Amino acid sequence: MSFILSIDQGTTGSTAIVLSPDARVLAKASREFPQHFPRAGWVEHDLDEIWASVVGAIADALAAAQVEPAACLAIGITNQRETTVLWDRATGAPIHRAIVWQDRRTADRCRALREAGHEALFRERTGLVLDPYFSGTKVAWILDHVEGARPRAERGELAFGTIDSWLVWRLSGGAAHVTDATNASRTLLYDIQAGRWDEALCGHLDVPMALLPDVRSCAEVYARTRGVPGLPDGVAIAGMAGDQQAALFGQTCFAVGDAKCTYGTGAFLLQNTGTTFVPSRNGLVTTIAWRLGDETVYALEGSAFIAGAAVQWLRDGLGVISTAAEIEAKAASVESAGEVVFVPALAGLGAPHWDPDARGLLCGLTRDTTLAHVCRAVLDGIAYQITDLVDAMNGDVAAHDASQGVLSRLRVDGGAAANGLLMQFQADLLGVPVDRPATVETTALGAAYLAGLGAGVFSNLDAIVSAHRIEKSFAPARDDAWRSAQKKRWRRAVARARSTVEG
Q: Is the pLDDT of residue 371 over 80?
A: yes
The Cα 373–Cα 490 span in angstroms is 16
The pLDDT > 70 percentage for the chain reads 99
Task: With a cut of 70, say whether residue 356 has pLDDT above it.
Answer: yes
Q: Which residues of 467-492 are buried (b: 16+ CB within 10 A; e: fewer)?
A: bbeeeeebebeeeeeebeebeebbee
**CATH fourth-level superfamily of 308-388:** ATPase, nucleotide binding domain (3.30.420.40)
Considering just the CA atoms, what is the radius of gyration of the chain in Å? Answer: 22
The closest alpha carbon to 241, from 276, 217, 267, belongs to 217
Confirm if 98 and 83 have CB atoms less than 8 A apart. yes
Instruction: Quote the percentage of the chain above a pLDDT of 90.
Output: 71
Indicate the pLDDT class of residue 107, thresholds 50, 70 and 90. confident
Q: Which residue has the higher pLDDT, 317 or 205?
A: 205
484 pLDDT more than 60: yes
Q: What is the pLDDT of residue 502?
A: 52
In DSSP terms, 472 is beta-bridged to 436
What average pLDDT score do residues 114-130 get? 92
310-319 burial string, b = 16+ CB within 10 Å, else e? Answer: bbebbbeeee
* Closest to 164 in 3D by CA, of 261, 101, 77: 77
- CATH code 3.30.70.100 for 3-234: no
Domain ranges across the chain: 3-234, 308-388
Q: Please check the confidence at residue 440 and state whether its pLDDT lies above 80.
A: no
Q: Are the beta carbons of 211 and 135 closer than 8 angstroms?
A: no
In angstroms, the CA 59 to CA 459 distance is 29
Distance CA 272, CA 63 (A): 37
**Confidence band of 96 (pLDDT split at 50, 70, 90):** very high
State how far the Cα of 412 lies from the Cα of 433, in Å rounded to an integer: 10
pLDDT in tens, 17-27: 999 888 788 99
Is there a shared CATH topology between the 3-234 domain and the 308-388 domain? yes
pLDDT at residue 213, as a whole number: 97
Task: With a cut of 90, say whether residue 184 has pLDDT above it.
Answer: yes
pLDDT value at position 483? 94
Query: Tens digits of per-residue pLDDT, 204-250?
Result: 999 999 999 999 999 999 999 999 999 999 999 999 999 999 999 99
501 pLDDT more than 60: no
The strand pair at 98-99 and 44-45 is best described as antiparallel
Helix H or strand E segment including 380: helix 371-400
- Angle at CA of residue 319, ends 313 and 324, nearest 5°: 60
Interatomic CA distance for residues 152 and 158, integer angstroms: 6
Whether residue 134 is predicted with pLDDT greater than 60 in this model: the reply is: yes
User: What's the first-to-final CA gap in the chain, in angstroms?
Assistant: 63
What's the pLDDT score for residue 351?
84
Lowest mean pLDDT among 133-142, 383-392, 467-476: 467-476
398 phi, psi to nearest 5 deg: -65, -40
* Amino acid code (one letter) for 197: W
- Of 25-29, 129-133, 268-272, 369-373, the poorest mean pLDDT is in 129-133
